[in-house]
Amino acid sequence: MGSANGLATAHGKQPLFSFGLISDVQYADIPDGRSFLGVPRYYRHSFLVLQRAVKEWNNHQRHKFVINLGDIVDGYCPKDQSLNTVKKMVDEFEMFNGPVYHLIGNHCLYNLPRSKLLPLLKIKSLRGHAYYDFSPVPEYRFVVLDGYDNSAIGWPQDHPTTLEALKFLREKNPNEDKNNPTGLVGLERRFLMFNGGIGKEQMEWFNGVLQDATKLKQKVVVCCHLPLHPGASSKEALLWNYEEVMNLIHKYNCVKVCISGHDHKGGYSIDSHGVHHRVLEASLECPPGTNAFGYADVYDDKISLYGTDRMRTTHMYFNPKADL
Ligand SMILES: [Zn+2]
């Protein structure tokens, strides 16, 4: 398969462009530990995974950009080191020879408030929000959603958004610890404090972007730290209002792929409208010497994600019916 220069694929076409991906590096200068479910976490090694990722992306030479799906540092990072640790991670990402797009995750927000975090991640912020879009080639639009827009973390404690989110959690989750899903049934298990939702203003903005992309005949890739579809994710990791977001996406035919992080084991599914959902495997959970990063080749009719080690390779063919 493929030509001598390695650019051609099985169906003989060259990609329109390619880009690098990584998620949930969750670095901290602390000894290895475990998640609440007992899954080992390699806090120091994850930095080496990022270093190897950047080296690979640079060796490839053709990637137009790199996208980090969130949680650049871990919540256990000692708080007096938060600022320097985030800087260290951003500096490592910037060793990549091209633009880097960051998403915020809950662990980033445990370390720094939005006012400090967003400028470091070079997210052009509108009143502290972290959603934006970009178009790497005229045929494609990438939309980055801020999954912690409505959230009890990341905003000041007396901020109306924090108070509203805490009220919402009290109604939805009777446990004292709002990160505990005990007693919550089925998809209700997503009503946890480490998750969040998309607010009204962001929904309106998103609708406008999808309208514009449709007009321009662009295909859209949606990126959100929190997964948007139960088929690709644990129930406990889903965006609070994923249904509302998916209902909006399904009103249009332009969204082809949704990419997320947060649910460390990773996942993949195709929804009822042919939209692909890919949750990326976490760098944090790579035992020493192993990796979880990748790159995607983007075509007009598919996106092929090539994973390294623990990141699975996924070929996502677009539903031709969706373009009728
Ligand atoms: Zn997360």
How far away, in angstroms, is 43 Cα from ligand 1 center? 14
**Which CATH number fits the domain that encloses residue 38?**
3.60.21.10
pLDDT in tens, 232-283: 999 999 999 999 999 999 999 999 999 999 999 999 999 999 999 999 999 9
pTM, two decimal places: 0.95
Taking a 5 Å cut-off on Cβ, the residues next to ion ligand 1 are: 71, 105-106, 262
Q: Does 6 fall in a domain?
A: no
Q: Does 55 fall in a domain?
A: yes
Q: Does 165 fall in a domain?
A: yes
How far away, in angstroms, is 216 Cα from ligand 1 center? 33
- Low pLDDT (below 70) residues in the chain: 1-11, 321-324
Q: Does 103 fall in a domain?
A: yes
Average pLDDT, the chain: 94
Q: Does 283 fall in a domain?
A: yes
pLDDT at 10: 52
How far away, in angstroms, is 297 Cα from ligand 1 center? 25
Q: Does 10 fall in a domain?
A: no
Full 3-state SS string of the chain: CCCCCCCCCCCCCCCCEEEEEECCCCECCCCCEECCCCCEECCCHHHHHHHHHHHHHHHHCCEEEEEECCCCECCCCCHHHHHHHHHHHHHHHCCCCCCEEECCCHHHHHHCCHHHHHHHCCCCCECCECCEEEEEECCEEEEEECCCCECCCCCCCCCHHHHHHHHHHHHHCCCCCCCCCCCCCHHHHHCCCCCCECCHHHHHHHHHHHHHHHHCCCEEEEEECCCCCHHHCCHHHCCCCHHHHHHHHHHCCCEEEEEECCCCCCEEEECCCCCEEEECCCHHHCCCCCCEEEEEEECCCEEEEEEEECCCCEEEECCHHHHC
Q: Does 135 fall in a domain?
A: yes
Domain count for the chain? 1
How far away, in angstroms, is 194 Cα from ligand 1 center? 7
How far away, in angstroms, is 323 Cα from ligand 1 center? 33
pLDDT in tens, 32-74: 999 888 999 999 999 999 999 999 999 998 999 999 999 999 9
- Which domain does 277 fall in, by range? 17-323
How far away, in angstroms, is 250 Cα from ligand 1 center? 25
Q: Does 125 fall in a domain?
A: yes
